[in-house]
Structure 1
Amino acid sequence: MANSGHDVLADDDQLLVAELQARPRAPWTDIGGALGISGTTASRRWNRLVTDGYAWITAYPAQLFPVTGYVWITVSPRRRRHVGATITAHPATYWVDQLDGERTFLAGVAATSLRGIEATATEIAEIDGVMDVHLQLCRSVMHDGTVWQPKLAGPVDQEHPTIWRARETGDVARPSETDIRLFRALMRDGRATYTELATATGLSDRTVRRRLPELLENRMLSTRCDVSRETLGMESGFFLSIRWTARWRSLIGVACRMPGARLVAGVSGASPFLLQFWGRSIADADMVVARLEAAVPDLHIDRIDYSVRSLKRFGRYLGPDGRVADDALAPDVDLFDYAHLADRPT
């Protein structure tokens, strides 16, 4: 570890994280073999990172939510802590960042219908201290944390299909009670073994071995490895809201291949592209903009919002140092509380 305000992962640990980001549930023998170490050593090092709050593996049923969006929230300074805690605990939010400017928070939200998203935005607007709420619906996600890797491993250079696209509610499969049990167990530990999952869910080992591969294959359930931004030496995060351009394919292609890109999404509104990057400092935003402008001469950036810190990311609460907090996953708050979100009042 080196220290520059935060502990920074050693290169070997960053490579381990990168390998698990590519294959979150691969056997330890395969992970270790790719790194030139034993599976036992790889497992031991990973368990240390998880215990220290630097990295984690979770699961999320994104394909079950045909509607997602991003809620920009402006808050009275005196109520910032209260509002932050409230939106972080809300079952419809899977990601919350605290921002630097007049917009105080950005929250990623998900639901089974457009009315569900609208209901969530309304609930957030009614929190004491919230002054303004602006919702942008997500049309599609071309790049996100599931395919991103640390800069040490280099940019993603292969073509990736669209990761998520808004769909009709009727096109979405309905999970069974068995599926929901598996979702919740894997949200807590995305690398849990079949035996551990059977114990945690009360299902038979045979049922888990049959159903889990089906859920992963049809993408009703996806696993992902996440890592603290700060512990990669990336002190800054920032969001670019970009106006429509006829060269949008070039914009997306370049953005998806930039090492710091964490999100490339199509959204509603006057700025229909939302990009998120991680960087070593806030000055990295200038380099990102310069590279995008070189590829897309008519680029028009509506605004840049800087992330002060992340409060929540895919089911984990994060502390001020970027590491997973002690109360990382409250027992009554799941990443996606499907039963709650599927029955929103209309």
Structure 2
Amino acid sequence: MLENMTDHGFDLLDRQLVQALMIDGRAAFSRLAAVLDTTDQTVIRRYRRLRGAGLLRVLGLPVGERVGLFESRLRIQCVPGSAVAIAEALAHRPDTGWVKIFSGGSEVGCMVSSRTSEDHEALLLRKLPRTQQVTGVSAQSLLHQYAASSGHWMGPAELDEQQIRALQPPASSQEDTIRLDDSDHAMLSVLARDGRAGYPELAKATGRSESTVRRRLEYLRGSGALSFEVEILPVHLGFRTEATLAVTVAPGDLAEVGRALADHPQVPFVAATTGASNLAATVLCQDQRALYTYMTEGIGAIGAVHQLEVLPVLRHVKRAGLLSDGSRLFDPPR
């Protein structure tokens, strides 16, 4: 499992490439090479090596609040000894992601994204409550996800401000909810496996022309309905401690605190939620001592935080649509 995996020794160019992809996961190899001051062939070779070894993958994912998905973060209390089985059952559902077991060993957390309210309610109101080994379920609806002001990076910055600006994609517009059709869903299915899939592959999957697919992808991205994220095991960048945070702030401070947390390098995800706590976040640290420092000096320095619950993650069973297998997280490139 993840805790048994070793650091694969990313060198400086590897780390720069990862950070560049976190800024723009669809950036052309030629553009990446120009910003990183190397050759196209070198960037292609590095990317293929990292992806082929199962160390990195770029994913194109719909933004739930922009495309009308019904999204909830679940905390599921289980009978002792049953957490692994429940987590694995959830992980095999196509509508779940980020399935994890918390350190107590009897609680599972996950994200559920459903295309219809009926599917969402079926899981929350019928399937989970009827599972004998489940003793309790709490669900928080995601209201808004906060984005970092610049490309998010989980470690010391490897790119300078000029390089970051050169890679920064145009800011997305916030229009009304985007309605997706069957061709869009077909394209998103491909991008969920490989966010850098070429336009010929996307055209074949959707039945559209390459030019139409290109325009549609750019529209979805420009309207904030589609984002490109880099999945990489944090342990390979030296981060061995992960925790889920449940944060409570006054409603008037919610947006300010959410944006502040999003800019913390330790926080790859933060969103406003319903429920007793109104912010949910993921934090990555080098070790438990670093987690303590972040709690006291990072989030602890934000005076608007009234209450903080920290749930250390014992095991990841699934990430964003990807099952963990203990040695190779990702499928090799096709």
Q: Check whether TM > 0.5.
A: yes
Structure-2 separation of matches of 1:30 and 1:136: 40
Superposition deviation, residue 135 in structure 1: 0.6
- Which residue is equivalent to 1:332? none
- Of residues 248, 269, 275 in structure 2, which corresponds to 1:243? 248
- Of residues 39, 63, 67 in structure 2, which corresponds to 1:64? 67
Superposition deviation, residue 174 in structure 1: 2.7
Structure-2 separation of matches of 1:66 and 1:11: 38
2:85 aligned with 1:79: no
Contact 1:72–1:103 (CA<8 Å) still a contact in 2?
A: no
Write out per-residue CA displacement over residues 194-229 of structure 1, whole angstroms, 9 at most, x where no aligned residue: 123234444433432343323322333322222111
Percent of aligned pairs sharing the same letter: 23
Aligned CA distance change for structure 1 residues 70 and 308 (closer, same or farther; 3 Å):
same
In structure 2, the residue corresponding to 1:82 is in which secondary structure? helix
Structure-1 separation of matches of 2:173 and 2:317: 23
In structure 1, the residue corresponding to 2:77 is in which secondary structure? strand
- Which residue is equivalent to 1:125? 129
- Which residue is equivalent to 1:196? 201
In structure 2, the residue corresponding to 1:77 is in which secondary structure? coil
- Which residue is equivalent to 1:295? 301
- Which residue is equivalent to 1:18? 19
Q: Which runs of 5+ in 1 are unaligned?
A: 329-346
Aligned CA distance change for structure 1 residues 90 and 124 (closer, same or farther; 3 Å):
farther
Write out per-residue CA displacement over residues 70-115 of structure 1, whole angstroms, 9 at most, x where no aligned residue: 0001222332232111111112213212211265221111234555
TM-score by length of structure 1 reads 0.80
Structure-2 separation of matches of 1:217 and 1:249: 22
- Of residues 274, 277, 281 in structure 2, which corresponds to 1:271? 277
- Of residues 224, 227, 234 in structure 1, which corresponds to 2:229? 224
In structure 2, the residue corresponding to 1:149 is in which secondary structure? coil
Number of residue pairs aligned between Structure 1 and Structure 2: 320
- Which residue is equivalent to 2:145? 141
Question: What amino acid sits opposite 2:137 in the alignment?
Answer: V
Superposition deviation, residue 267 in structure 1: 1.2
Superposition deviation, residue 125 in structure 1: 3.4
- Which residue is equivalent to 2:168? none
Q: Cα RMSD (Å) of the superposition? A: 3.4
Question: What amino acid sits opposite 2:88 in the alignment?
Answer: A
Where relative contact order (Cα < 8 A, 6+ residues apart) is larger, the structure is 2
Write out per-residue CA displacement over residues 300-328 of structure 1, whole angstroms, 9 at most, x where no aligned residue: 3342101123222222222335x515599
Contact 1:251–1:295 (CA<8 Å) still a contact in 2?
A: no
- Which residue is equivalent to 1:38? 39
Superposition deviation, residue 150 in structure 1: 2.6
Structure-2 separation of matches of 1:95 and 1:102: 16
Superposition deviation, residue 66 in structure 1: 4.3
Structure-1 separation of matches of 2:332 and 2:29: 27
Structure-2 separation of matches of 1:73 and 1:88: 13
Contact 1:15–1:152 (CA<8 Å) still a contact in 2?
A: no
2:180 aligned with 1:175: yes
TM-score by length of structure 2 reads 0.83
Question: What amino acid sits opposite 2:21 in the alignment?
Answer: L
- Of residues 93, 99, 120 in structure 2, which corresponds to 1:90? 93
Question: What amino acid sits opposite 2:267 in the alignment?
Answer: A
